[in-house]
Chain A
């Protein structure tokens, strides 16, 4: 089908002619690389978040202490938090940009579809991503916006013991707990494909890949399950 014989050799001028239309970051591979890096950062952040949340199950004091540190430490607040917000926004925006390109690549759909050659998770990252985005909106309204308002708008005096009460109060409403559980199930599905896929996008696929896939699968199940168990624990206990 394809002519693999040697064609005209491109000189440097011709190379530039091909490449000049496309800045490095506009290629799909570069964008997927950036998606993978932001994903790996966010995946690491999830573990850190889960660790602190888990303290609330075992010790009110430890949870308050950790939350107070995260809420007042200038490195966390003014370096890590902006990086986190950038990673979240970038991951979503680039996800939508790539989705638009991918949809444009097949303007006429098939009349008969058979998706049995790939997992549901890998084919529906947009759906799981949109549910996570909706959850993040709820999460920001619940925690982040009041927190920012408390500290940087109203300039209320810091109370190192307020965090546990705020957390427990949010999990009194069964509707919120239900939404929380659904969102984290979808996060698990997103991670089941996304975590191991990030390694492929950065070019890492070798003899360690089977072990990495097992680790990613375990992480994708255990971390969201941890968040769900904490929510149900506080709902039942209060």
Chain B
């Protein structure tokens, strides 16, 4: 199939940037979206032009590296997948595809389609962990009984790959779904309760410091999440934060 691409090109963080049109021909429907961009980049290199920069790593939907706002949606038109799992059979011959970086004040563009998502790392550093003394006398985790329902919910929250699609999809560029998943994966387990108060307070403070917006409960984040993280986690984050404020 032949496609028309409108791709955001931006030299660096200080460049204004603009959408640039590219025509790409003979795209196989079996290609992944990233492979289609690889083919485009090969053509650009052969023509002596600068290839399009975009994030990618595992290409099997588990690392959270790939991003891209494709036709107005993070990771493209399908639900519950990352961009590397999106295939060109999803598009039709002659389609125009808009490809933009994830947009948020807290996700500044580094180059072209690559954004700096280290704000997520700083939120994690503020409390997204448990402190365990690993000097050799650590208790076996399996020795602590955990309710199966809680274990399943904690695991579901822990499947968040931190890709930032929730921020990209949200009209407010809110990071609440990400932070709620990271808080929930510990809040539901006895090992996580020890630092629960400090975790909720510090991660929310860091989230706000980074300049993410507030949650309007539209649900767009969960609808676009490759791992289908549930909105119940956001309610849990609200409970964790509000109750920790009283301590």
Q: Which residues of A contact B (CB under 8 A)?
A: 1-10, 15, 18-19, 21-22, 24, 26-33, 98, 101-115, 117-119, 122-123, 125, 193, 197, 200-206
Contact status of A31 and B214, CB under 8 A, knowing A9-B131, A200-B231: yes
Cβ-defined partner of A197 (8 Å) among B103, B169, B216: B216
Is the CB–CB distance between B209 and A21 below 8 Å? yes
Grouping DSSP codes into helix (H, G, I), strand (E, B) and loop, the A interface class, with mixed when no group exceeds half, is loop
Tell me the bound Cα distance from A9 to B198 in angstroms. Answer: 11
Docked-complex contact A123 and B218, CB < 8 angstroms: yes
> How many pairs, one residue from A and one from B, have CB atoms within 8 Å of each other in the complex?
185
A202 to B212, alpha carbons, bound, how many Å?
A: 20
The listed residue (B63, B132, B205, B235) touching A18 by CB distance below 8 A is: B205
In this assembly, does B239 line the interface, its C-beta being within 8 Å of a C-beta of chain A?
yes
Beta-carbon contact of A30 and B220 below 8 Å: no
Q: Which chain A residues border B69 with CB–CB below 8 Å? A: 110, 112
Q: B238: which A residues are within 8 A, CB to CB? A: 29, 32-33, 200-203
Let me know if B28 is at the binding interface, CB within 8 A.
no
CB distance from A153 to the nearest CB of B (A): 40
The reply on B151 being an interface residue by CB < 8 A is no
Q: List 11 A-B contacts (CB under 8 A).
A: A29-B242, A31-B214, A101-B213, A105-B174, A106-B172, A109-B103, A111-B6, A111-B98, A113-B72, A118-B218, A197-B217
Which residue on B lies nearest to A24, using beta carbons? B245
**Cβ contacts under 8 Å, B218 to chain A:** 118-119, 122-123, 193
Interface size class of B (residues with CB under 8 A): 35 or more
- The CA-CA distance from A26 to B207 in the complex, in Å, is 12
Question: For A18, A104, A105, A117, which residue has the most chain B Cβ atoms within 10 angstroms?
Answer: A105
B31-43 contact mask (Cβ, 8 Å, vs A): 1 or 0: 0000000000000
In angstroms, Cα B145 to Cα A98, docked, is 42
Contacts of B207 in A (CB 8 A): 28
**Chain A residues with Cβ under 8 A from B217's Cβ?**
122, 193, 197, 200-201
Check B154 for interface membership: any CB of A closer than 8 A: no
Q: Are B71 and A203 in contact (CB under 8 A)?
A: no
Shortest CB distance B4–A (Å):
13
Contact of A28 (CB < 8 Å), options: B8, B130, B169, B208: B208
Q: Is A32 touching B64 in the complex (CB atoms < 8 A)?
A: no
Chain B residues positioned under 8 Å from A111 (CB to CB): 6, 8, 19, 98, 100
B214 touches A117 (CB 8 A): no
Cβ contact of A114, chosen from B19, B73, B106, B202, cutoff 8 A: B73
Known contacts A3-B124, A4-B128, A27-B241; is A112 also within 8 Å of B100 by CB? yes
Contacts of B162 in A (CB 8 A): 1-2
- Docked CA distance A104–B236 (Å): 26
Are A200 and B105 touching (Cβ within 8 A)?
no
What residues of B have a CB within 8 angstroms of the CB of A117 in the complex? 73, 169, 219-220, 223-224
In the assembled complex, the Cα of A30 lies from the Cα of B242 at a distance in Å of 7
- CB nearest neighbor in B for A25: B245
* Of A21, A24, A30, A110, the contact of B103 (CB 8 Å cutoff): A110
Shortest beta-carbon distance from B129 to chain A in Å: 4
B73–A1 contact, CB under 8 A? no
Question: In whole angstroms, how far apart are the Cα atoms of A165 and B44 in the complex?
Answer: 78
Q: Which residues of B contact A115 (CB under 8 A)?
A: 72, 171, 220
Rounded to whole Å, the gap between the CB of A184 and the closest CB of chain B is 22
**CB-nearest residue of chain B relative to A15?**
B198
